[in-house]
Structure 1
Amino acid sequence: MVFDAISTDAITAVTDGWYNQLATSLNLSVRSFQLLQPPVVPVDDRSLWGCFDVPPETLKYNRWYFSQPDFFSQYAAIANGLSFPDSAFAADIGAVTYAKWMDYLNSLSSPPPPNTLPTVWFQWAMVNAPSVANIGRTDLSTQLLINSAQAALQPFEGENARPADFSPSFSDLKTTLLASQGASFSFDSAHDNPDVSDSWVPGDDPNYFGMWTGSSPAIRISRKFALSRINISASFTHFACVTVTPGTWYDSGLLHLAMVSQSTPPWIDSSDWETYFGASGTLTHAIGSLLAVDGITLTLTSDADFTEEEQAIVKAQVSMGYWPVYCPAQSSVISNTVTTSPGSTTISMQSAPGNPVVLGFNVFGIGNYLGGGV
């Protein structure tokens, strides 16, 4: 196969046009939408939840190219990297006050429940140490938050760990889709809009795949295809944007504490903040919601003038799935067909009803995800 230096730009341009058309047709915001390539076709909870990685900062998330950590592992590592020891509390309120406070606790007939300790402290301190009442309450609240969050994580770690769950479940996603509206739209590369400068990731954003899943955008077949006139007729029986919510193992307050605090405590090692939240950190973005569709019918025509050899190559890749969805064929779920002739290529893709296909995510910077507006 012959490679061409500018073919990546051609594929990127036509894919940006498709991205904009899809966003417009489904009323998606280019300020947060990310296209998955290839999409996820879950079959159960684990395969659905397993796609909730930390998304890269790119409009097209090529899951073959990027190696992203999953959200749970990042959260768990952060949670286990936080601590607020009694020594830090004692340092903030003073050794004398700490000794008096401990004497008070020991004088009680039974220790107060941990979740009431910040309030019990505040009531005692307003009489006995008012100047440090507020900072002491803050310290004990932080200690309670960390300890509670780490306790909630325990069932999901270790040898007999429960799977890290999210909402929606697979069955809930199918139910939501069944009650959702459908959509039909068309795409014409001769009149598309490849301008993504107002999107959440403006500028050069390569697609990394060429004409079919796994192919290089630099091969001449991909360039011919991308520079041809491409027409698409697409319809979804149902589509929905569904909020993605971590399960009981997750505490947004803890993650917010970790993000806004760079010191020790709450970090055991303050350099870890940069590891997760710095400019090159591993948790700078998170998935707020997913775009799922059901009952895809897509027909694409191209006037690319492929040689007989190139036609044979294109036909041989039918199981891999083609641009723009890149959905590999799956028995009884996804079917792909292609017919070629000189100056004409027709590609059809269908998904069987009742099988959700996750086409993309709405992605937010970790500050916005946590409600901090950052």
Structure 2
Amino acid sequence: MITTYDTPTEAMTAVTDGWYNQLAGSLNLSVRHFQLLQPPAVPVSDQGLWDCFDIVPPVTLKYNRWLFQQPRFFSQYAAVVNGLSFPESAFVKDIGADTYVAWQAYLNTLSPPPPANTLPTVWFQWAMLHAPSVANIGRSDLSTQLLINGAQAALQPYEGADAKPADFSPTFSDLKTILRASPGTGFSFDSTNDDPDVSNSWVPGDDPNYFGIWTGSSAAFYVSRKFALSKITVSVQFDHFASVTVTPGSWYNSSLLHQAWASQAAPPWIDSADWQTYFGANGSLTHAVGSLLAVDGITLTLTSDADFSAAEQAIIKGLAAMGNWPVYCPISSAVLSNSISTGPGSLSIRFKSAPGNPVILGFNVFDIRSYLGAG
């Protein structure tokens, strides 16, 4: 029967890893960062696009959006920012009570009072004359206070009952413009001479395949294994493709997130245990999307010499709208089409996406250290 399980599922995993390597090599993508998106995203608006990459990506070469329920990058960032504080008492402790009294007396002589964003500089100039031994630590403390206060203020419009949506760059319109100006490419895949070795990728070892031959099917289905063990060829044409940097909006402060990551102490953390919650080995903010792989105008033709039975052929044809390996793109609108023809020892699938409709095939993922520019 079609639903008979046949484990292990190495065959489906191996052929998909081969496709991963072929796609990365053909588009000059680094396997140290690239992640397949399964199924791909086909956004039609800014919000749809932003929802696609406003996630903390899982540590896997194949991000199955049906399986992984990932936290939002915005929500994790906001939680970190709201978990930081640098109280005045910590500043007093670092510079000494007597110095603090003298500093406050000096500030009271200034008219008008210096703007908050100038306090670290004003302090340093004063302290170099009156308290040089704590000039640097005092400036660092005031800078941290300023950074936290500014980041929390920038977040306020995006929180609460009337919150603005967390925006990013690119917008949907910008993405379409970028793609129109980007080159096209064509390449082919042949499972008889592919390279399934992903040991040098950013997720080395056995990175399992979560779908079988069609979207939602198990890689352990007998029909999936039969497909994976056949001779598979894929001819691909992209009218346009581009790796596009993903940049959070004005709500985001990379300097503060870097400081939160770099220090486990309280301050700047209100509770120092929270560092592990977000940045520890099992934390909820260990990776981020640095850029996306977008394509426009896909024409993909797949052939397999698997000898599917009449019943298996009927199942495959009946589920064509679910989307098939290797892109797994469900046919949800006239933008996408998927046609299948079968015969003895022959399976052919032709997938097309209409020009002018970006399809997000994957991400370039960075661990939080690299994302923050710390190496």
- Category of TM-score, reference length = shorter chain: over 0.9
Q: Distance in 1 between matches of 2:182 and 2:78?
A: 34
Decide which of 111, 115, 126 is 1:113's aligned counterpart: 115
Q: Secondary structure at the match of 2:143?
A: helix
Q: Distance in 2 between matches of 1:180 and 1:66?
A: 31
Q: Which residue of 1 aligns with 2:6?
A: 4
Give percent identity, aligned residues only: 73
Q: Which residue of 1 aligns with 2:30?
A: 29
Matches within 5 A, 1:62-77: 62-77=64-79
Matches within 5 A, 1:266-285: 266-285=268-287
Q: Deviations over 1:134-163 (max 9, x none)?
A: 100000000000000111111111111111
Q: Distance in 1 between matches of 2:353 and 2:368?
A: 34
Please report how far the alpha carbon of residue 30 of structure 1 lies from its aligned counterpart in structure 2 after TM superposition. 0.8
2:174 is aligned with 1:172: yes
Q: Which residue of 1 aligns with 2:184?
A: 182
Matches within 5 A, 1:12-27: 12-27=13-28
Specify the code of the residue in structure 2 equivalent to 1:38: P
Decide which of 196, 214, 237 is 1:194's aligned counterpart: 196
Q: Deviations over 1:172-225 (max 9, x none)?
A: 000000000001111100110101111111101011101111111111011101
Q: Which residue of 2 aligns with 1:155?
A: 157
Q: Which residue of 1 aligns with 2:338?
A: 336
Please report how far the alpha carbon of residue 108 of structure 1 lies from its aligned counterpart in structure 2 after TM superposition. 2.2
Q: Which residue of 1 aligns with 2:41?
A: 40
Q: Secondary structure at the match of 2:192?
A: helix
Q: Secondary structure at the match of 1:338?
A: strand
2:230 is aligned with 1:228: yes
Q: Secondary structure at the match of 1:364?
A: strand
Q: Distance in 2 between matches of 1:63 and 1:294?
A: 21
2:368 is aligned with 1:366: yes
Q: Distance in 2 between matches of 1:334 and 1:69?
A: 29
Please report how far the alpha carbon of residue 11 of structure 1 lies from its aligned counterpart in structure 2 after TM superposition. 0.8
Please report how far the alpha carbon of residue 67 of structure 1 lies from its aligned counterpart in structure 2 after TM superposition. 1.0
Q: Which residue of 1 aligns with 2:142?
A: 140
Please report how far the alpha carbon of residue 13 of structure 1 lies from its aligned counterpart in structure 2 after TM superposition. 0.1
Decide which of 84, 93, 96 is 2:98's aligned counterpart: 96
Q: Which residue of 2 aligns with 1:206?
A: 208
Q: Secondary structure at the match of 1:105?
A: helix
Please report how far the alpha carbon of residue 110 of structure 1 lies from its aligned counterpart in structure 2 after TM superposition. 2.4
Q: Distance in 2 between matches of 1:315 and 1:104?
A: 80
Q: Which residue of 2 aligns with 1:247?
A: 249
Please report how far the alpha carbon of residue 62 of structure 1 lies from its aligned counterpart in structure 2 after TM superposition. 0.6
Please report how far the alpha carbon of residue 109 of structure 1 lies from its aligned counterpart in structure 2 after TM superposition. 2.3
Specify the code of the residue in structure 1 equivalent to 2:10: D
Please report how far the alpha carbon of residue 107 of structure 1 lies from its aligned counterpart in structure 2 after TM superposition. 2.6
Q: Distance in 2 between matches of 1:317 and 1:270?
A: 51
Q: Secondary structure at the match of 2:164?
A: coil
Q: Secondary structure at the match of 1:293?
A: strand
Please report how far the alpha carbon of residue 61 of structure 1 lies from its aligned counterpart in structure 2 after TM superposition. 0.7
RMSD, aligned CA: 0.8
Q: Distance in 2 between matches of 1:192 and 1:51?
A: 30
Structure 1 runs not aligned, ≥5 long: none
Q: Distance in 1 between matches of 2:343 and 2:101?
A: 87
Specify the code of the residue in structure 1 equivalent to 2:346: S
Q: Distance in 1 between matches of 2:271 and 2:349?
A: 54
2:252 is aligned with 1:260: no
Please report how far the alpha carbon of residue 5 of structure 1 lies from its aligned counterpart in structure 2 after TM superposition. 1.1
Please report how far the alpha carbon of residue 330 of structure 1 lies from its aligned counterpart in structure 2 after TM superposition. 2.3
Q: Distance in 2 between matches of 1:272 and 1:153?
A: 19
2:128 is aligned with 1:126: yes
Specify the code of the residue in structure 1 equivalent to 2:292: L
Q: Distance in 2 between matches of 1:109 and 1:14?
A: 72
Please report how far the alpha carbon of residue 36 of structure 1 lies from its aligned counterpart in structure 2 after TM superposition. 0.5
Q: Distance in 2 between matches of 1:2 and 1:197?
A: 31
Q: Distance in 1 between matches of 2:97 and 2:336?
A: 68
Q: Secondary structure at the match of 1:198?
A: coil
Please report how far the alpha carbon of residue 42 of structure 1 lies from its aligned counterpart in structure 2 after TM superposition. 0.6
Please report how far the alpha carbon of residue 239 of structure 1 lies from its aligned counterpart in structure 2 after TM superposition. 0.2
Q: Secondary structure at the match of 1:147?
A: helix
Matches within 5 A, 1:290-329: 290-329=292-331
Please report how far the alpha carbon of residue 20 of structure 1 lies from its aligned counterpart in structure 2 after TM superposition. 0.6
Q: Distance in 2 between matches of 1:48 and 1:320?
A: 21
TM-score by length of 1: 0.98
Q: Secondary structure at the match of 1:191?
A: coil
Structure 2 runs not aligned, ≥5 long: none
Matches within 5 A, 1:71-86: 71-86=73-88
Q: Distance in 2 between matches of 1:12 and 1:111?
A: 65
Please report how far the alpha carbon of residue 22 of structure 1 lies from its aligned counterpart in structure 2 after TM superposition. 0.4
Q: Distance in 1 between matches of 2:249 and 2:186?
A: 34
Please report how far the alpha carbon of residue 366 of structure 1 lies from its aligned counterpart in structure 2 after TM superposition. 0.7
Q: Deviations over 1:62-81 (max 9, x none)?
A: 11111111111111110000
Q: Distance in 2 between matches of 1:20 and 1:331?
A: 29
Q: Distance in 2 between matches of 1:29 and 1:130?
A: 49
Specify the code of the residue in structure 1 equivalent to 2:32: R
Please report how far the alpha carbon of residue 34 of structure 1 lies from its aligned counterpart in structure 2 after TM superposition. 0.6
Q: Distance in 2 between matches of 1:118 and 1:109?
A: 17
Q: Distance in 1 between matches of 2:160 and 2:112?
A: 33
